[in-house]
Amino acid sequence: MHVFVTGERQIGKSVVIQRAVSLLGLPAYGFLTRFHGGDSLYMAAPSRAGRPDSADRIAFRNQGRIELMGDSFDRIAVGLLREARAHPEGIILMDECGHLESGRIRFLQEVLHCLDGEIPVLGALRLGQLWHEPIKTHSRVRVFTVTLENRDSLPAQIAQVLTEK
């Protein structure tokens, strides 16, 4: 089984994911996306998420809008997911699948390859994205909505779902 969380912006989706990974005690592969330096969005492996370099930059803010940087998104995102699939001892993180990924066919195909595999996947889905339907309706995916009321108890529930055989 694979798990994705969704919920309002800034509700704590990434914190729930981090706590669930900690409970699982598995090495984490895949990607985390974070803004660093204000206007640059980076995508990096979980082991490097706190210290990305310019090679991890996938987008930037331009007059309030976020714009992808050429083919860097596909190259980085697909590469990180392929690398994650080579580590069956771990868990594949996808934090966050948002609006920038809409229309990125190679990325969606790689996500679906991960979901068809045996390595547990844990990710976050931004609300209101039509391109998420193949993820949310995948037979091996369970989606939890993070709320103020459940965000403290969700990590344990997610860890349990991901370890069930």
Name the band, by pLDDT with cuts 50, 70 and 90, for residue 28: very high
What gap in Å lies between CA 40 and CA 62, rounded to an integer?
Answer: 10
Q: Is the per-residue pLDDT at 52 higher than 80? A: no
What gap in Å lies between CA 129 and CA 101, rounded to an integer?
Answer: 9
Q: Which domains does the chain have, with CATH numbers?
A: 2-163 (3.40.50.300)
Q: Give residue-wise pLDDT tens across range 1-18.
A: 999 999 999 999 999 999
**Beta-strand pair 91-97/2-7:** unpaired
- Helix %, strand %, coil % of the chain (to 5): 35, 30, 35
